Structure formats: structure tokens, C-alpha cells
Structure 1
């Protein structure tokens, strides 16, 4: 009989997501971790196009993986309560591929972000991510309007 609480199981599930999908680029892991009808509330910076399905998230991860192939994401803090988990993370990597029209700069980047996950019966059913894109673009040498 397991003595792990639902909260501990939810934390472990999110750590698995970050380890496999974010750090090891195992995007097919999202097929196991995300519900078939997962609700995606993440938007791509600079686009009005909503991300709505697992395949959209895989595409977004692939975009980042192509531009920052050595990127790793460190979990700085995680708060879990009931079916919700909130993560503050830092992504670090090198800009080695084109990203949103910006040719590779070789710049080292360090970007903070937050992720919200809602979990039902051991599966992620809701996803929302936000990254400090202004910080990222500044590190890539893009001048932003005042």
C-alpha cells in the first residue's frame, strides 16, 4: 500500500513531464502524461493563434528545441494543492538555431517562467505556461519598443 499522497503524486508527475519532455526532448511522453482532451491555455508570443492540443505543445517544444538544442530547465520551486501544481522554472541554453525569425546568435540565454498544471486521476488535463519573452529577446539582441 502506497503512503504517497495525491499531492506528492501530482508533484512527481510534473517532475516527470519536465524531465522527459523539457530536458530530454522526449515529446512523445506528452501522449502519456497529457489527457486526450487536455485543455491548453498557452499562447505563442507574437501570435494570436491559440495552442489547443498535445500536438500544438509538441510543435512549440520542437521550436524551442531546434533553437536552443542544449537547453535545460531547472525547477526552482513547485507548489501543489489539490489537483493543481504551479512551477517556477528557469530555462538555460545556447541560441544555435533560428527562433521566431532570429538567426542563431550563439548567445547564452537564461529565462524564467511559470507553468500551471491541473491533474485528474494521474493525467494532466490543463496546461498554462508563461515565459519572460522580453528577457529572452533582449538576450538575443532584439530591441523591444519602450
Structure 2
């Protein structure tokens, strides 16, 4: 895909495609060098290269990882998404050995856009639901 022109919705759409296609070297097209990523599983990760390394770890653990964006709202410098994140846990992740369970969780994310690049993503999902779908919680 061609590099976006800094349109906030286009940046977030391309960013999701990068995750889905596992073409993490393309992060430089959409995210700033100082990009910050925060999620319930990762905590806060600072720097594009560190986020890229985390994304590669996610892809190794969930080779069929996919983000499906259902709705996107954008302002001048802010984008909010409602998505589903899914994948099969086939490799170690966050110290958890592969469970071979498939997860499908709802996710909300807030993106900040400045200077034509994504500067920050803060994603919100139910970590308890995630761990439960991996079969790691007692019923």
C-alpha cells in the first residue's frame, strides 16, 4: 500500500493493515520514531523500534493475529476505533506458553496524530476476558 498523506483515518487504517499483514517494517510509514503504545498486556512501550519488536512477538505467538475495525471516529488529531482482535495462541507470549486457544476480544483504541504520523496509541480491552479465552483462569 502507498504511504498515506497524514490523513488520521488513513493512517490508522494503514496501521491496522500493517499488523494484519505482519509487515512491521512499514511502521515507519505511519508511526513517529517516538511512538508510544499502551495496552493491558504490554503496559507502555516507547519508541517505534520497541513497538515493532513487540508486534513481532505478538505475531510469533499469534500467527493468525487480526484486527478488524468495526467503527472509526476521527477529529483533526485524534482517532478512536472499535475493533475485534483475534488470533490463535500458538507460541509463548508474555511468559505464557502456547495454549493453542483462539481468542476474540473487543477493543477500543485512541490514537493521537501529529505531524502526519501516529504519535500514540492507547488500546483498551478486558485482560481478564483475554486470559479466560486462553484457558488460564479457573472457572
TM range (shorter): 0.7 to 0.9
Q: Shift of residue 129 of structure 1? A: 2.0
Q: Shift of residue 77 of structure 1? A: 1.0
Paired position in structure 2 for 1:3 = none
Give the structure-1-normalised TM-score: 0.80
Given candidates 31, 34, 39, the residue that maps to 2:31 is 34
**Gap regions ≥5 residues in structure 1:** 1-5
Paired position in structure 2 for 1:99 = 93
Q: Shift of residue 87 of structure 1? A: 0.9
Q: Shift of residue 102 of structure 1? A: 2.1
1:66 aligns with 2:63: no
Q: Write 1 or 2 for the structure with the bigger share of strand.
A: 2
1:140 aligns with 2:97: no
Matches within 5 A, 1:1-146: 9-20=7-18, 22-38=19-35, 40=36, 42-43=38-39, 45=41, 50-143=44-137
1:44-84 deviations in Å (ceiling 9; x for gaps): 6376xx41111221122122111110111100111111210
**Gap regions ≥5 residues in structure 2:** 1-5
* RMSD of aligned alpha carbons: 2.2
8 Å CA contact 2:85–2:105 kept in 1: the answer is: yes
Q: 1:16 to 1:111 in 2, by over 3 A?
A: same
Q: Shift of residue 132 of structure 1? A: 2.3
Q: 1:110 to 1:26 in 2, by over 3 A?
A: same
Q: Shift of residue 27 of structure 1? A: 0.8
Q: 1:46 to 1:55 in 2, by over 3 A?
A: closer
8 Å CA contact 2:34–2:46 kept in 1: the answer is: no
Q: 4+ runs of 1 displaced by more than 4 Å?
A: none
Q: Shift of residue 41 of structure 1? A: 5.1
1:77-126 deviations in Å (ceiling 9; x for gaps): 11111210011111111111112222222211102212211112321122
